[in-house]
């Protein structure tokens, strides 16, 4: 077969193919990090695995770079490129839960918000990112840490199999049993081994958690971070936490005169029995005086 032209690609795929001549081009080439300003030759809004295969073929046959965009959260902007083709999977976000088998299959462009909302209904979860808008794709392929990682392992440890379009445009299954070397590479090797059209995860029982954000004075950050590191090392595996710095948003639980100030923050997540949550999370309050907090029982997806 000869090289496909853009028009032939348009005929071959279900999703829209956006080029610099199209009005939606600027919107289509955007990624999360607004410092990234790349101009691909085409963005293909893939609708299914067939579209991904056609996009990979198109890029290969025309000698163009190919970027795969999942959730678009790559800080250096690996979900886009200059002059090449973007396979944008953000329209492929379906999540199917097999509650009896305790697995879930997420399409390659699903976010953790999509995933957690789907599995929560069954009281199940896998380790995902701390923020709902991060992509299942890039996060899992890079390893994936989150609130549940201490008990359940990294996101990639929960991966059972993946449907992958390889550079020659074939769709293959990668798992412990099939294409085991590719499966090994996908679990932490980043986005360079193929375009994953669906990820199958093992699920574990997690529904409502006890936790939320706690804000400490910035001056207490050294004590808070050191105490967190010491405490979490031996804490039960159901306890997760995310220490960070945070500019206080205008939320009702933060004193109004402190909105806009920078704080040291711990977001706590206890995924064990709810009635043990207050004791587990309360330990963080001993690190330093808490300025504001929004801690209590809540659905796991709400924390994200
Ligand atoms: C606000 C924010 C919060 C974050 N929180 C966490 C966190 O809690 N835990 C954590 O571990 N990391 C976190 N990260 C880092 C994040 O996991 C990585 O940036 C990750 O690469 C983002 O994946 P994405 O699919 O959203 O991004 P994209 O930019 O779409 O993709 C990132 C990389 O993965 C590849 N890729 C994406 N989807 C696929 C696919 N389906 N098939 C093949 N390749 C694919 C892309 O080609 C690219 O190389 C966070 C990042 C941000 C910006």
pLDDT in tens, 107-125: 999 999 999 999 999 999 9
H or E, element range at 231: helix 221-234
Residue whose CA is at the smallest distance from ligand 1 atom 34: 138
Task: Please say if the pLDDT value at position 176 is more than 60.
Answer: yes
Q: Would you state the pLDDT for residue 191?
A: 84
Query: Where would I find the beta strands (DSSP E) of 218-289?
Result: 239-247, 262-270
Across the range 91-97, mean pLDDT stands at 98
Report how far residue 37's alpha carbon sits from residue 115's, in angstroms, rounded to the nearest whole number. 29
Instruction: Please report where in the chains the tokens 């509650």 appear, as a residue.
Output: 99
CA of 245 to the centre of ligand 1 (A): 21
Task: Please say if the pLDDT value at position 1 is more than 70.
Answer: no
Domain 6-88 has CATH 3.40.50.2300: no
Q: Which atom of ligand 1 is nearest to the CA of 111?
A: 26
pLDDT band at 7 (very low <50, low <70, confident <90, very high): very high
Start-end ranges of CATH 3.30.465.10 in the chain? 95-205
Any idea which fold 95-205 has? 3.30.465
Q: Would you state the pLDDT for residue 2?
A: 61
H-state helical runs in 164-249: 180-186, 221-234
Across the range 239-258, mean pLDDT stands at 96
Q: Which atom of ligand 1 is nearest to the CA of 67?
A: 47
Instruction: Please report where in the chains the tokens 């790559």 appear, as a residue.
Output: 74
CA 248 to centroid of chain Cα atoms: 24
CA of 283 to the centre of ligand 1 (A): 32
Q: Would you state the pLDDT for residue 192?
A: 86
> Among 3.40.50.720, 3.30.70.3340, 3.40.462.10, 3.40.462.20, what is the CATH number of 208-303?
3.40.462.20
pLDDT band at 4 (very low <50, low <70, confident <90, very high): confident
Does any ligand 1 atom lie closer than 6 A to the CB of residue 113? Answer: no
Report how far residue 240's alpha carbon sits from residue 238's, in angstroms, rounded to the nearest whole number. 6
CA of 136 to the centre of ligand 1 (A): 7
Residue whose CA is at the smallest distance from ligand 1 atom 19: 74
Across the range 237-265, mean pLDDT stands at 97
Across the range 179-192, mean pLDDT stands at 94
Instruction: Please report where in the chains the tokens 């028009």 appear, as a residue.
Output: 7
CA of 137 to the centre of ligand 1 (A): 6
Start-end ranges of CATH 3.30.43.10 in the chain? 6-88
Task: Please say if the pLDDT value at position 49 is more than 90.
Answer: yes
Report how far residue 275's alpha carbon sits from residue 242's, in angstroms, rounded to the nearest whole number. 21
Start-end ranges of CATH 3.40.462.20 in the chain? 208-303
* Per-residue tokens: 177: 């049993």
Q: What is the pLDDT of residues 270-294, one digit of tens each?
A: 999 999 999 999 999 999 999 999 9
């Amino acid at each position: 077969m000869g090289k496909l032209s853009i028009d032939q690609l348009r005929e071959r795929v279900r999703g829209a193919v956006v080029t610099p001549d199209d009005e939606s081009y600027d919107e289509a080439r955007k990624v999360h990090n607004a410092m990234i300003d790349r101009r691909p030759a085409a963005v293909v809004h893939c609708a299914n695995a067939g579209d991904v295969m056609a996009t990979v073929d198109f890029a290969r046959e025309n000698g163009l770079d190919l970027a795969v965009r999942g959730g678009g959260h790559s800080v250096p902007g690996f979900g886009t490129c200059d002059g090449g083709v973007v396979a944008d999977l953000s329209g492929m976000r379906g999540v199917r839960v097999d509650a009896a088998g305790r697995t879930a299959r997420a399409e390659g462009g699903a976010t953790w918000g999509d995933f957690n909302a789907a599995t929560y209904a069954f009281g199940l979860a896998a380790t995902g990112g701390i923020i709902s808008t991060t992509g299942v794709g890039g996060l899992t392929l890079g390893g994936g840490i989150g609130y549940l990682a201490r008990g359940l392992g990294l996101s990639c440890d929960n991966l059972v199999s993946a449907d992958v379009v390889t550079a020659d445009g074939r769709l293959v299954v990668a798992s412990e049993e099939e294409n085991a070397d590719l499966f090994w590479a996908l679990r932490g090797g980043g986005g360079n081994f193929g375009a994953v059209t669906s990820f199958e995860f093992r699920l574990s029982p997690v529904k409502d958690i006890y936790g939320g954000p706690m804000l400490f004075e910035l001056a207490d950050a050294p004590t808070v971070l050191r105490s967190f590191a010491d405490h979490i090392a031996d804490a039960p595996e159901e306890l997760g936490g995310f220490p960070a710095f945070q500019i206080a948003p205008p939320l009702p639980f933060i004193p109004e005169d402190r909105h806009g100030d920078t704080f040291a923050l711990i977001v706590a997540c206890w995924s064990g029995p709810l009635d043990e949550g207050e004791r587990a999370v309360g330990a963080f309050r001993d690190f330093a005086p808490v300025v504001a907090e929004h801690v209590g029982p809540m659905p796991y997806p709400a924390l994200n």
